[in-house]
Amino acid sequence: MKAGDTSTEGTAFHAVDIIRTKRDGRELSDAQIDWVIAAYTAGEVADEQMSALAMAIVFRGLNGSELDRWTRAMINSGERLDFSSLEKPTVDKHSTGGVGDKITLPLAPLVAACGVAVPQLAGRGLGHTGGTLDKMESIPGWRSSLATEEMLRQLADIGVVICAPGPGLVPADKKLYALRDVTGTVESIPLLASSIMSKKIAEGAAALVLDVKVGSGAFMKTSESARELAQTMVDLGRAEGMTTAALLTDMSVPLGRTAGNALEVAESIEVLAGGGPADVVELTVALAREMVAAVGRDDHDPADLLASGAAMDIWRSMISAQGGDPDAPLPSAHETEVITAEQDGFLQSLDALGVGEAAWRLGAGRARKEHAVQPGAGVVLHAKPGMRIHVGQPLFTLHTDTPERFGRAREAIEGAYNIGNTAPEERPLILDRIV
């Protein structure tokens, strides 16, 4: 075998030939796709070769049949979960990530309160976007790693689980995700869609609702790119027999009034208790309605169950089942700093990316996956766009255990908002529905 061929004995394929095929804009065959995903997962295709193929896909794309096959090959690289033993229908939700996006926390127990099983396999944050597991792990004692048998038992008994995916679920994506992050190939819609959907399909739920964020604090900055991503993922789900729908939602402004792990847990508990910020409640209920409708269990309005306290009961049971104490005080930062308004007027804009950057700089996020986060770090927002502001009024409170971080966080925040003489036009939170 020549150097760089990475061919497996008995196969007709070489990695370099597959790279050239896509580089030149030609269609990859099913067999080529199956081979390259399996060989890369097994370590027979080198990282630099898969990097070259990923970059070729960034420029040349994948057509519909290629993308279907690529996604299926990623799914087939590992195990699939099976929830057929459950008596309830199963539905999952995925968000493409944003700032202050704590929706999974009140949403999952709310949908379970509607008589639906919610196997919510979640991830960690990277950069300015927060991760569900990081938020949940700020609850004392709560654990994210569950065996499949524990998951099934908890779904049968309580109706909901939020946990980390096991190592056997789509191992091809674990390798390719890390590679894309360091090779400038994250932005490819086919690669992004197949990464998300391979995991969601392998998780085995009957239905999936996607929350595709658009705006400065989201991965997709324009409505056009977000709509393309949403439609691509919906099509992939349906091709695999999964009932799939997507909402396009605004992420130009942070969701709610907190960005940070324990801060967002506290706000989620407010929502479960019947309070909380209006935008968090609106999106939680909208996604819950989509999820229960997708599995035909929409005979009760989730808004009523949220107000009744039924979702809070399930939240507490879920936390206890995973070793957490639902009554324990949440971690709080040792140091705080308040940023106040320097003029009268209306808060005209509040950039989600700037707030997310500030929370990240305070210690709420990580630059690399192996880094630890500060559970109490983050930003509390005292005003949202449209509110009248007075000189000296608190606008933000910064939280951290390491006060030397305040300076850089303040820089991110101070460039993220504008106060003017007129109130801005109100922006809708839910921009579109894709089916």
Q: Identify the three-state secondary structure at position 213.
A: strand
Contacts of 121 (CB under 8 A, 6+ apart): 92, 163, 164, 165, 169, 199, 203
Same domain, 160 and 34: no
Residue 4 lies in a domain: no
**Residue 118 shares a structural domain with residue 259:** yes
Residues 57 and 123 in one domain: no
Instruction: Decide which of 256, 289, 321 is a domain's last residue.
Output: 321
The residue among 321, 347, 375 that closes a domain is: 321
Residue 187, domain member (yes or no): yes
Give the residue from 72, 130, 24, 78 showing the smallest Cα distance to 357: 130
Residue 405 falls inside a structural domain: yes
Bridge partners of 432, per DSSP, are 248
Are 140 and 167 contained in the same domain?
yes
In a domain, 271, yes or no: yes
pLDDT value of residue 293: 97
Residue 359 domain flag: yes
Residues 143 and 193 in one domain: yes
Residue among 170, 335, 336 at smallest CA distance from 240: 170
Same structural domain for residues 137 and 224?
A: yes
> Which CATH number belongs to the domain containing residue 42 in this structure?
1.20.970.10
| Domain region containing 120 | 91-321
Position 356 in a domain: yes
| Residues found in the chain | 435
**Catalytically annotated residues:** 94, 173, 180, 195, 199
My answer on whether 173 and 55 are in the same domain is no
- Number of independent structural domains in the chain: 3
Q: Are residues 26 and 136 in the same domain?
A: no
CATH number of the domain encompassing residue 208: 3.40.1030.10
In this structure, are 267 and 412 located in the same domain? no
CATH number at residue 344: 3.90.1170.30
Structural contact between residues 380 and 141, judged by C-beta atoms closer than 8 angstroms: no
The radius of gyration of the chain's CA atoms, rounded to the nearest angstrom, is 22
Tell whether 217 and 344 lie within a shared domain: no
Query: Does residue 7 sit within a domain?
Result: no
Among the three residues 290, 321, 352, which one is the final residue of a domain in this structure?
321
pLDDT in tens, the chain (435 residues): 333 344 444 457 999 999 999 999 999 999 999 999 999 999 999 999 999 999 999 999 999 999 999 999 999 999 999 999 999 999 999 999 899 999 999 999 999 999 999 999 988 766 667 789 999 999 999 999 999 999 999 999 999 999 999 889 999 999 998 888 788 888 899 999 999 999 999 999 999 999 999 999 998 999 999 999 999 999 999 999 999 999 999 999 999 999 999 999 999 999 999 999 999 999 999 999 999 999 999 888 999 999 999 999 999 999 999 999 999 999 999 999 999 999 999 999 999 999 999 999 999 987 666 678 899 999 999 999 999 999 999 999 999 999 999 999 999 999 899 999 999 999 999 999 999
- Asked whether residue 76 is assigned to any structural domain, the reply reads no
**What does 280-334 look like in DSSP terms, one character per residue?**
HHHHHHHHHHHHHHHTT--SS-HHHHHHHTHHHHHHHHHHHHTT--TTSPPP--S
Q: Give kind and range of the element (H or E) at residue 224.
A: helix 223-239
Residues 316 and 340 in one domain: no
Say whether both 409 and 295 belong to one domain. no
Q: On the CB side of 207, how many CA atoms lie within 13 Å of its CA? A: 24
